[in-house]
């Protein structure tokens, strides 16, 4: 057998492979992109609070005293109650990594190619992002008291068509098995519903027309300018799976006469109301081909003060005197304080497992 670099024992023992020092290729995940990290799980996007849970106030109606009167009319004064309170429980997540004290010694210059401790830390943070991304697009079972409340918990699908009889498309009530969303009953308070309707095919006459209607119907302006809203500023996003996005690109190409020589000239150029339609890998698990409209000014993560990405170093792991560990803990949940600013259009109401 011919001697090559790979089977020359002395060469293998004495020489490091050229991997590009202090760099490595990221093959940690099957996700091409994630929303959780970009939109939610970072300190700049997250708001913080204390208490045993996240509570918020919702004004459900007006006083009703306004009327036209004649001269000398008798006042009609009443005290009305127009507020209710939502409530979201905290959820806790942890990730952990460890090392033997001899590993950094062996992973030292000049033999060091990458920072071993850094790769452990990055790898475990990556596992947290994958966990967040998966559950961001899930509804926890009613018996699940540990998972976060994902987008489909707040933005609920419906097979009811949008008509004036059902508040013009606000059909997203509560997920299957639930009676309340964020502690508020959408049957008792119909304005505590998201926009939801059904479509059949991805076409201008069906899905896109219904998306236009959804965007218009969810574009609420404050009734009174001085309302102290929670809204952090309108920031719309549209999210779907590859099948829907690819068909939209084909529709765009079919209406464009200046394609030139590029057979996929509209790749990643689909906009809806000047907002990119984004492909979400996790939505490949959703057989209803949904299109979610999210207003990130109204949707976000709430973290517990003092418990956001808190790293705890353990100098010596009990029972393993050569091992040290780091534990990262985070207390948070996902929430929206205004469901009717969001919407979803899907072919059915089935949810991914």
Q: Is residue 179 part of a domain?
A: yes
Domain count, the chain: 1
Q: Is residue 321 part of a domain?
A: yes
Q: Is residue 10 part of a domain?
A: no
Q: Is residue 13 part of a domain?
A: no
Q: Is residue 107 part of a domain?
A: yes
Q: Cβ of 118: how many Cβ atoms within 10 Å?
A: 11
The pLDDT of residue 51 is: 84
The pLDDT of residue 255 is: 76
Q: Is residue 204 part of a domain?
A: yes
The pLDDT of residue 207 is: 97
| Rounded CA separation 185/156 (Å) | 13
The pLDDT of residue 10 is: 46
Q: Is residue 74 part of a domain?
A: no
Nearest partner of 198 among 353, 341, 349, 352, judged by Cα: 349
As a dihedral over the C-alpha atoms of residue 99, residue 103, residue 108, residue 111, rounded to 10 degrees, the angle is -130
The pLDDT of residue 43 is: 65
Residues of the chain with pLDDT under 70: 1-28, 42-45, 110-114, 164-166, 226-228, 230, 256-267
Q: Is residue 106 part of a domain?
A: yes
Cα end-to-end distance, the chain, whole Å: 53
Domain hosting residue 306, numbered range: 36-58+81-228+235-346
């Amino acid at each position: 057998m011919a001697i090559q670099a790979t089977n020359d024992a002395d060469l293998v023992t004495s020489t490091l492979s050229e991997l590009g020092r202090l760099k490595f290729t990221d093959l940690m995940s099957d996700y091409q992109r994630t929303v959780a990290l970009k939109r939610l799980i970072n300190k700049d996007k997250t708001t913080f609070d204390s208490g045993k849970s996240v509570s918020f106030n919702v004004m459900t109606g007006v006083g009703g005293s306004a009327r036209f009167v004649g001269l000398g009319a008798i006042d009609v004064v009443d005290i009305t109650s127009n507020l209710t309170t939502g409530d979201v429980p905290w959820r806790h997540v942890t990730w952990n990594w460890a090392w033997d004290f001899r590993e950094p010694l062996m992973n030292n210059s000049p033999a060091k190619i990458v920072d071993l401790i850094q790769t452990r830390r990055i790898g475990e943070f990556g596992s947290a992002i994958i966990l967040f991304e998966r559950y961001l697009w899930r509804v926890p079972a009613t018996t699940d008291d540990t998972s976060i409340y994902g987008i489909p918990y707040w933005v609920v699908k419906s097979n009811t068509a949008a008509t004036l009889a059902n508040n013009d498309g606000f059909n997203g009530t509560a997920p299957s098995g639930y009676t309340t969303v964020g502690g508020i009953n959408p049957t008792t308070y119909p304005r505590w519903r998201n926009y939801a309707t059904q479509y059949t095919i991805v076409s201008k006459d069906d899905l896109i027309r219904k998306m236009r209607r959804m965007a218009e119907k969810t574009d609420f302006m404050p009734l009174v300018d001085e309302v102290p809203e929670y809204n952090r500023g309108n920031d719309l996003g549209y999210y779907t799976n590859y099948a829907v996005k690819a068909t939209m690109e084909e529709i765009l190409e079919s209406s464009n006469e200046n394609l030139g020589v590029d057979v996929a000239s509209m790749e990643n150029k689909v906009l809806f109301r000047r907002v990119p339609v984004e492909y979400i890998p996790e939505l490949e698990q959703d057989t209803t081909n949904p299109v979610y409209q999210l207003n990130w000014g109204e949707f976000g993560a709430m973290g517990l003060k003092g418990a956001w990405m808190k790293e705890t170093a353990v100098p010596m792991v009990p029972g393993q005197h050569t091992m040290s560990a780091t534990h990262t803990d985070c207390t948070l949940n996902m929430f929206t304080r205004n469901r009717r600013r969001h919407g979803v259009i899907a072919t059915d109401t089935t949810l991914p497992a």
